[in-house]
Amino acid sequence: MRDSPKVELHLHLEGAVPPSFVRGLARQKSIDISGIFDEGGNYRYRDFAEFLKVYEAATAPLTSPEDYHSLTRAVLAESAAHGVIYSETFLSPDFCGARDLGAWREYLHAIREAAEAAEAQDGIILRGIVTCIRHFGPDAAREVALCAAETAGDWVVGFGIAGDETAGKPRDFAWSFDMAREAGLRLTAHAGEWAGPQGIRDTLRDLRVERIGHGVRAIEDLALVDELAEAGIVLEVCPGSNVALGVYPGWRAHPIGQLYDRGVKVTVSTDDPPFFHTTMTHEYDRLSEAFDWDDGVFATLNRTAAEAAFCAPETRAQIL
Ligand code: ADE
Ligand code: ZN
């Protein structure tokens, strides 16, 4: 399914850094991050807590807007090679720009320039979702929200929250989400990946998001599943990520099939592809095997994703 056109709503820019790219930069800058790789040169982590540490360490060599320019070109070339025509990408001022608005603008400019070059060359469209990191706390999130609000427009289209879902409560971040909403940004939040159904309920109530990153543990509460379906809340499901991180023991055990069958608006994304040894092609192929999904189901998932994309209507028309 490599060539079929795909809409991806949930990709972390730093999480898409190929290990070879990071190693090259680290060598150039004499930064020792050898501990984050295994013997095969892949990222090494045993569980989610370690994944977050390795993820952060892998950003250490990304120290300039130029680095982000090259990274964005590399990531979009890889996505386009797997048929992705639209990529809504999480951008983190915590990792680029250090939440300093001036520096953030420079990083954003570099990422946007690279994205425009990729669009001209490969036809892939990127739109940004500025994201705060939950375990860095509410004060850091406010600064990130200010960066997001100041750069909101037709290219930075959303605001979100990633990181350790067990740190703090959604309401601790309500101020940031309110400010982003007032700036015209559309909202999504990671929930229901590590915390159960209550985390999703709290997120919907306190942050008033229209999409949920992951959301798969809603399956533990069928009343919530029905509510999600009725309210048309879109789930950015990343099955390969959930399997790699051990949320579910395998593809057949993943609840995306049941959520789809119960009428929830599910979409498919890769999250952090090199960390999870995945691509959009791999996700589609494994889902097709696990749930016997045919092209019609994947067409529905892509239409759902295009309709739920935070871009302007003219852009949506290009990807529908
Ligand atoms: N940041 C990058 N990947 C993530 C994940 N799977 N969960 C939470 N935060 C993340
Ligand atoms: Zn994510």
241 lines ligand 1 (CB under 6 A): yes
163 lines ligand 1 (CB under 6 A): yes
pLDDT, one tens digit per residue, over 23-79 is: 999 999 999 999 999 999 999 999 999 999 999 999 999 999 999 999 999 999 999
Distances (CA, A) of 40 to 16, 27, 49, 272, 316: 18, 17, 21, 18, 40
Run of H or E including 126: strand 125-133
> Which ipTM value was assigned to this complex?
0.98
pLDDT number for residue 207: 98
Ligand 1 center–CA 162 separation, angstroms: 6
Distance between CA atoms of residues 33 and 195, nearest Å: 30
Ligand 2 center–CA 274 separation, angstroms: 13
Q: Which amino acid is at 254?
A: H
Distances (CA, A) of 26 to 77, 220, 237: 22, 43, 32
What residue ranges define each of the domains in the chain, with the CATH number in brackets? 6-17+62-319 (3.20.20.140)
Q: Which ligand is nearest to the CA of 14?
A: 1
Under a CB-based contact definition with an 8 Å cutoff, are residues 111 and 72 in contact? yes
Name beta bridge partners: 162.
Answer: 133
pLDDT, one tens digit per residue, over 76-99 is: 999 999 999 999 999 999 999 999
